[in-house]
């Protein structure tokens, strides 16, 4: 395209839609569940005539995540303020109703993002303030639990009985609060104290995590790309709970270790550092795309021991050559991910009891397949980022019932203490690692550990 034609096209291109209309479109597209929210934001706001300025883009992103974190509450308030009777949230109906999506996003608009909206559209900012002031006067004491707590009814029914009455609001508040940014210091290259000092020298308010020995925490999002500690491989983004899962594996130099569901490789990287880059570390996953993302991270971390391989499924015949030969196997199983709702609030709405049951069945199959690889005396770790017993204790109990003659369960407390994790007793429930966002400040995780009998 010539410069003159490009100039005419730019002049003819329509301006971006009004902010609240854009906000409604973002919610509608996210509720289609074809892409995660960050991809929806990038596609909708980052190109062509819809491109918006960075401040408004940030405000729209913050609002989308705020809306998803308590979607049924905002939906209920929107219905009340419009004079419609209370009704259960039906995602398809909400997605089809642009006006309802606009109201939901207006009610969810964070105070910290209001100035950006005011600069872009003063009338829209006034509408947001008016609706939020009206909503503040609505008493939800007698409302349905999903409206009061902002979570799906099925999820409330499964989570609430696990906690004391006084703890339940604390969990809800934690799940609906943006998560901090946790980092893992690469012990192959640097000590935690050095990495901490380097980040603080750059003006980042980092501090050590309370449990993970190699963890650092930033209170909010920060751009790490381009910063020397990140580019040099000193730190990687990894939630503290995920780091504690790796501590349970306890991989050592020279061993053969398998990360059975490696994904993009966060735990693979941590295992490689734990092994001091000596031995053989296999990263298996069914997604070639996810494994491809691991390659540059390995180079940055300085790891050479990793062999990544896409597998068809847990029954892939190529796994047979490792049967009974692996020192440690980590199964970070696919799950409904509700322990990560602070970061991925859309997962609460993507799943239902049927998908929980489907995941639990898949988890049982994967765990049984991975157990075949463990050598006598070797260790098997099963982990999820779910808070649901169906995906956690029930799967572990079923494994015990079927494989207890070959595998002995190990207490997580003993292994955490061996890994020099401080206050390890606060992290366990019975023989299992059990992490809760409101108790431990990290994502929700579960882990069970076994040793294969000799």
Tens digit of pLDDT per residue, the chain (454 long)?
556 555 554 454 556 789 999 999 999 999 999 999 999 999 988 765 557 889 999 999 999 999 999 999 999 999 999 999 888 999 999 999 999 999 999 999 999 999 999 999 999 999 999 999 999 999 998 999 999 999 999 999 999 999 999 999 999 999 999 999 999 999 999 999 999 999 999 999 999 999 999 999 999 888 899 999 999 999 999 999 999 999 999 999 999 999 999 998 999 999 999 999 999 999 999 999 999 999 999 999 999 999 999 999 999 999 999 999 999 999 999 999 999 999 999 999 999 999 999 999 999 999 999 999 999 999 999 999 999 999 999 999 999 999 999 999 999 999 999 999 999 999 999 999 999 999 999 999 999 999 999 9
Residues 128 and 249 in one domain: no
445: helix, coil or strand?
A: strand
Quick one: pLDDT at residue 8? Answer: 52
- The answer to whether the annotation marks 285 as part of a ligand binding site is yes
- The answer to whether the annotation marks 313 as part of a ligand binding site is yes
Q: Which of 146, 261, 335, 385 is catalytic?
A: 385
Assigned domain for 343 exists:
yes
Quick one: pLDDT at residue 4? Answer: 57
Assigned domain for 287 exists:
yes
- The answer to whether the annotation marks 332 as part of a ligand binding site is yes
Token code pair at residue 405: 């003659």
Residues 121 and 261 in one domain: no
Q: Give strand ranges (E) for 238-299.
A: 256-259, 280-285
The H or E element that residue 217 is part of is: strand 215-218
Q: Among residues 135, 167, 182, which one ends one of the domains? A: 135
Total of domains in the chain: 2
List the domain range (segments joined by +) for residue 263: 239-452
Q: Among residues 135, 153, 186, which one ends one of the domains? A: 135
Assigned domain for 66 exists:
yes
CATH number for the domain that contains residue 253: 3.40.50.150
- Per-residue model confidence as pLDDT tens digits over 267-290: 999 999 999 999 999 999 999 999
Quick one: pLDDT at residue 222? Answer: 87
* Angle between helix 19-30 and helix 98-108 axes, rounded to 10 deg: 110
**For residues 422 and 434, what is the distance between their CA atoms, to the nearest angstrom?**
15
Q: Among residues 135, 159, 174, which one ends one of the domains? A: 135
Q: Is 261 a catalytic residue?
A: no
Assigned domain for 202 exists:
no
**For residues 202 and 257, what is the distance between their CA atoms, to the nearest angstrom?**
36
Quickly list H helices, 279-352: 288-301, 347-350
- Per-residue model confidence as pLDDT tens digits over 60-93: 999 999 999 999 999 999 999 999 988 899 999 9
215: helix, coil or strand?
A: strand
Assigned domain for 156 exists:
no
Q: Give strand ranges (E) for 340-384.
A: 374-384
Quick one: pLDDT at residue 9? Answer: 44
């Amino acid at each position: 395209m010539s410069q003159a034609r490009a100039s005419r096209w730019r002049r003819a291109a329509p301006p971006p839609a009004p902010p609240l209309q854009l906000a409604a479109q973002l919610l509608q597209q996210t509720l289609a569940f074809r892409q995660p929210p960050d991809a929806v934001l990038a596609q909708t706001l980052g190109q062509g005539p819809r491109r918006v300025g960075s401040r408004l883009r940030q405000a729209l992103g913050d609002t989308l995540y705020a809306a998803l974190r308590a979607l049924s509450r905002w939906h209920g308030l929107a219905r009340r303020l419009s004079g419609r009777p209370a009704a259960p949230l039906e995602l398809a109906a909400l997605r089809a109703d642009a006006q309802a999506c606009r109201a939901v996003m207006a009610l969810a608009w964070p105070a910290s993002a209001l100035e950006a909206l005011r600069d872009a559209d003063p009338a829209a900012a006034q509408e947001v303030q008016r609706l939020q002031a009206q909503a503040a006067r609505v008493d939800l004491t007698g409302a349905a639990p999903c409206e009061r707590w902002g979570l799906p009814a099925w999820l409330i029914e499964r989570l609430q009985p696990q906690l004391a009455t006084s703890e339940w609001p604390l969990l809800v508040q934690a799940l609906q609060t943006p998560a901090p940014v946790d980092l893992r210091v690469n012990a192959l290259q640097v000590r935690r104290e050095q990495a901490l000092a380097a980040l603080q020298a750059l003006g980042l308010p980092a501090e050590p995590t309370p449990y993970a020995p190699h963890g650092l925490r930033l209170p909010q999002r920060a751009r790490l790309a381009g910063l020397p500690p990140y580019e040099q491989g000193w730190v990687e983004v990894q939630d503290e709970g995920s780091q504690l899962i790796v501590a349970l594996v306890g991989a050592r130099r020279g061993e053969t270790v398998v990360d059975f569901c490696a994904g993009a490789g966060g735990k693979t990287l941590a295992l490689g550092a734990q092994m001091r880059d000596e031995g053989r570390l296999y990263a298996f996953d069914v997604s070639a795309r996810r494994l491809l993302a691991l390659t540059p991270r390995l180079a940055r971390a300085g790891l050479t021991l990793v062999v990544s391989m896409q597998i068809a499924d847990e029954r892939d015949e190529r796994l047979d050559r490792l049967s009974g030969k692996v020192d440690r196997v980590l199964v970070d199983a696919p799950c409904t991910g509700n322990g990560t709702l602070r970061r991925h609030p859309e997962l609460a709405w993507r799943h239902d009891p049927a998908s929980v049951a489907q995941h639990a069945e898949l988890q049982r199959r994967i765990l049984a397949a991975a157990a075949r690889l463990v050598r006598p005396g070797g260790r098997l770790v099963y982990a999820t980022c779910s808070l649901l017993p169906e995906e956690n204790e029930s799967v572990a109990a079923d494994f015990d019932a079927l494989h207890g003659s070959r595998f002995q369960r190990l207490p997580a407390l003993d292994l955490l203490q061996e890994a020099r994790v401080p206050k390890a007793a606060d992290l366990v429930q019975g023989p299992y690692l059990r992490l809760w966002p409101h108790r431990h400040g990290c994502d929700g995780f579960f882990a069970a550990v076994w040793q294969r009998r000799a």
